[in-house]
Structure 1
Amino acid sequence: MRIIKARDYDEVSRKAANIIFSVMTEKPDCVLGLATGSSPVGIYKELVRRYEEGDLDFSKVTTVNLDEYKGLDREDPQSYAYYMRENLFSHVNIRSEKTFLPDGREADSQKACEAYNQILRQAGRQDIQLLGIGHDGHIGFNEPADHFPKETHCVDLAESTIEANARFFESREQVPTQAYTMGIQNIMAAKQILMVANGKGKAKILKEAFQGPITPQIPASILQLHPNVILVADEEALSEMESC
């Protein structure tokens, strides 16, 4: 694993965007695995800025997102489809038919998951997969469990995840309790994985994930087995990791 230290969130975002920029420059028709939440917002702003300056072209890019809430329409402001349009897709020249997320509108979980697995197979391996990390070590919506889920599946969100996501909703009661998410196998298929983290609150889990045992109780720990992982994090987030 390669660790890149940054001063703060803004520098984390710039350095992570540099890595994605390099992938897109080397392979204009790359497959980008994308994430949502607060961590990637700065990255997407930086990529939009570079597009506006004429340095990036999204016209041949395919994107596959990690997850989507079950039960939310794509036009719902809290859906990840809406998030992606607001933060990236509507600001660049990407083709909408080449942007993919699980279909939160599909009530049949098996149907939704099988459909997204087929999309992932057709898209091919992600050239780079962007990840954040939850305080409990979840990646995507792969929560702590007794096994590592392989492919796209429907997950009951942990109480800690619901609490963490409540800030994006008007009330806690509005937070969906289920989501469709790529499985660990889907994530590990990426040629390169880019994780971003910032703040003291992520220090403990980063140490456990990357310097502790590999266990499905800390889903991110599986990344220790991936041959090409880059962690971009600020000094506070890295403060408990040895040799950082």
Structure 2
Amino acid sequence: MKVLILRNEPAAIERAADIVARTVRDLPAAVLGLATGGTMLPLYQVLAQRHRDEGLSFAKTTSFNLDEYIGLAPDHPCSYHYYMQEAFFRHVDIDPARCHLPKGDAADPRAASGDYEALIEAAGGIDLQLLGIGQNGHIGFNEPTASLGSRTRIKTLTTSTRRANQRYFASFEETPRYAITTGVATILASRKCLLIATGAAKAEAVANMIEGPLSAVCPASALQLHPRATIILDAAAASALKLTEYYETVHPQGRDSAFD
């Protein structure tokens, strides 16, 4: 696990954007695993800016999002279909036919989950998977105690996750209880993983992920098993780590080491 600690959130986002941009330039037909949430908004803004100013092209890429709320149609303003369209897709040259998200309004969500997993496999798997981390250690909507061998399926959301997402809805009662999410094993099958965490509110979850035991109680800790996982943090998100000096020695100022 490569741990890169940057001085602040803008620096962390720029470093993450460097990695995404390099992936797309080196492999124009890359299959990208995309994520949503507040942490990803500034990243998508930077990538869109690089598309406009530097010609960074997503024309040949394919994307698969991690998750979607069950019961929300794609045009619902709180759906992740809507989020991705507004935050990223409409600002770059990605082909809408290559943009995939779980079908939250599917008549049979279980069947839709299996179909989505098969679609990822048919595309050859994910080249670079973007991830955030919840305050309870979830990745995607794989909540604590989620099977580390799980594939795309329906998950019941914890009360803490629903409260964290309540700000996007009119009330807590309207915040969805269920979601379709790619599983932990699906995430681990990606050729590269890039997790971004910023802010002190994520510090405990980050410490559990990186330095805690491998445990389904912190699903993000499964990234300890991934051979090419990069964790990008700002100083606040890294504040609970015990081995900060070591991480900064290996990757000073968030740079790659001589052997990367």
- TM-score relative to the length of structure 1: 0.97
Instruction: Give the residue type in structure 1 aligned to 2:45.
Output: K
- How far has the Cα of 1:172 moved from its partner? 1.3
Percent of counterpart pairs with the same letter? 39
Separation of aligned partners in 2, 1:167 and 1:11: 26
Tell whether 2:96 aligns with 1:96.
yes
- Partner SS state of residue 217, structure 1: coil
d(CA) in 2 for partners of 1:72 and 1:149?
27
* Deviation sequence 1:172-212 (CA, Å, 0-9, x none): 12111100000011100111110000111111111111111
Unaligned runs of 5+ residues in structure 1 are none
Give, in whole Å, the separation in 2 of the partners of 1:52 and 1:183. Answer: 34
Structure 1, 138-147 or 79-88: larger mean CA deviation:
138-147
> Which AA in structure 1 matches 2:203?
A
Partner amino acid, structure 2, of 1:240: A
Q: Which amino acid aligns with 2:155?
A: V
The structural deviation recorded for 1:149 is 4.7
Secondary structure of 2:173's partner? helix
Q: Report the equivalent of 1:185.
A: 185
Mapped contact 2:28–2:60 kept (Cα < 8 A)? yes
- Which segments of structure 1 move beyond 6 Å, counting only runs of 4 or more? none
Q: 1:149 to 1:165 in 2, by over 3 A?
A: farther
Q: How does 1:11-22 map to 2 (within 5 A)?
A: 11-22=11-22
Cα distance in structure 2, aligned partners of 1:228 and 1:29: 20
**Distance apart, 1:55 and its partner CA:** 2.6
1:38-117 aligned within 5 A: 38-117=38-117
1:15 is paired with a residue whose SS is helix
Is contact 1:70-1:107 (8 Å) kept? no
Is contact 2:103-2:109 (8 Å) kept? Answer: no
Kept in 2: contact 1:70–1:104 (CA 8 A): yes
**TM-score, normalised on structure 2?**
0.91
Is 1:136 matched with 2:125? Answer: no
Task: Look up the equivalent residue of 1:196 and give its one-letter code.
Answer: I
Which runs of structure 2 are paired with 1:78-227 in the superposition (5 Å)? 78-145=78-145, 147-227=147-227
Q: Give me the CA root mean square deviation.
A: 1.1
Residues in 2 aligned to 1:107 and 1:153: alpha-carbon distance in whole angstroms: 14
Aligned residues: 244
In structure 2, what residue type is equivalent to 1:222?
A: A
Asked if the contact 2:146/2:219 (under 8 Å) is kept, the reply is no
Aligned-partner SS, 1:71: coil
In the TM superposition, what is the alpha-carbon distance from 1:107 to its structure 2 partner? 3.3
Shift of 1:5: 1.4
- Bigger drift between 199-208 and 79-88 goes to 199-208
**Range that drifts further, 178-187 or 205-214:** 205-214
Equivalent pair of 1:67/1:101 in contact (CA under 8 Å): yes
Q: Distance in 2 between matches of 1:100 and 1:240?
A: 36
Moved more, 107-116 or 124-133: 107-116
